Amino acid sequence: MRLPDVCSRLILVRRDWEPRGRDRGVSVIDGWGVAAIVAAIGLTGLALALYVRRKVRLLSQRIDRARDVAASRATDASYLARVLPPTACLPRPTNWSLGGDTLHWLLSEVERRRPRLVVDLGGGLSTVLLGLRLKELGCGQVVSVDHDAGFAATTQAFVSLNALDGIVEVRVAPLTANTALPGKAVWYDTDKLADLRDVDLLVIDGPPMSAGKRVREAALTFFQERFAADWMAVLDDAHRPGERAILESWRGGRNGFAIDVLPFATPTARIFPAQASEPSP
């Protein structure tokens, strides 16, 4: 065979082999790429399924809680109809109001403890109910504190409608950075509360969480030197992360407040001096 013919055949063999080699390489690469895409889709689907499952569980918990709160309010409406004067005029309960079971227990505590001074932080329905109960018992006063002048005006209107002006005082204390509190905490203007002394019962249902997850922590810092000897404080929304962190801070602080959480529809914590015996339910 002549040399030119040999060279021609070698060139043809090379041309026939190269595409097949390249095709095999491309096929291998394409195979790994498809596997990676399938794996990514599978992982994405798993993550999405876990996310949806978590959201469904949280939604179910919220629905259950809303159902419990609705049932509690229905029960409370029946209870209030029995124990309050028929002429009582009450504000409409809102999502911010104390729950029915909490209010029922709180009014029972007022009857048992006969407080001389009640401070209601974040007042409204609770303020009017506390005033009516103290009027019925013939003892004590309520100071209701709100950061919003509009809310305070609504509370004041119901106080007047129920002839409670001599028992209930409504104050507006805007939220501000207080130099008198650690870290200049944002809380009610303490100048508006400086005269409050010998507080027997402190209801902590404000400021709202929109002002900070732990905005209510300053309450005991401010009032701890203003409590009467046998005081008790009540913290609403004790199930929320911010309130749970506040309770841990109060429980572990140097004062070592005694704390327990009452299993109402919206859990409520009661706080009292560590040296005192646990108050009766």
CA distances 22 to 12, 27, 183, 273, Å, are 16, 8, 69, 82
Contacts of 256 (CB under 8 A, 6+ apart): 274
This prediction has a pTM of: 0.71
Q: Do 42 and 169 share a structural domain?
A: no
Helix axes 125-137, 149-161, angle to 10 degrees: 30
Residue 144 confidence (pLDDT): 98
Parent domain of 177: 88-272
Q: What is the pLDDT along the chain (281 residues), one digit of tens a residue?
A: 554 454 444 344 444 444 444 454 445 556 667 777 877 787 887 788 888 877 777 776 666 555 555 555 544 555 565 556 667 788 776 676 788 888 989 999 999 999 999 999 998 999 999 999 999 999 999 999 999 999 999 999 999 999 999 999 999 999 998 776 765 678 999 999 999 999 999 999 999 888 888 889 999 989 999 999 999 999 999 999 999 999 998 887 666 688 999 988 889 999 988 775 555 45
Residue 85, SS3 per DSSP:
coil
Residue 122 confidence (pLDDT): 93
d(CA 70, CA 56): 21
277 within domain boundaries: no
38: which 2 tokens? 């399938």
Q: Which amino acid is at 20?
A: R
Give me the sign of the Cα torsion angle 247, 252, 257, 263.
positive
Q: Do 268 and 141 share a structural domain?
A: yes
281 within domain boundaries: no
Q: Do 182 and 70 share a structural domain?
A: no
280 within domain boundaries: no
Residue 105 confidence (pLDDT): 92
Q: Do 70 and 155 share a structural domain?
A: no
The CATH number given to whatever domain includes residue 250 is 3.40.50.150
Residue 6 confidence (pLDDT): 41
Q: Do 113 and 43 share a structural domain?
A: no
Residue 40 confidence (pLDDT): 78
Domain boundary among the residues 57, 83, 109 is at 83
Provide the number of structural domains found in the chain.
2
248 within domain boundaries: yes
E strand or H helix that includes residue 270: strand 268-272
Contacts of 259 (CB under 8 A, 6+ apart): 247, 250, 251, 269, 270, 271
Q: Do 198 and 99 share a structural domain?
A: yes
Residue 72 confidence (pLDDT): 52
Helices (H), 89-223: 100-113, 125-137, 149-161, 218-223
Domain boundary among the residues 33, 66, 83 is at 83
Domain boundary among the residues 63, 83, 103 is at 83
The strand ranges marked E within 113-267 are 117-121, 141-146, 168-172, 175-177, 186-188, 199-204, 227-235, 258-262
Q: Do 149 and 30 share a structural domain?
A: no
Closest residue by Cα to residue 147 from 179, 177, 122: 122
Q: Do 65 and 92 share a structural domain?
A: no
Q: Do 167 and 46 share a structural domain?
A: no
Q: Do 147 and 61 share a structural domain?
A: no
185 within domain boundaries: yes
Provide φ and ψ at 159, rounded to 5°: -60, -45
Q: Do 244 and 115 share a structural domain?
A: yes
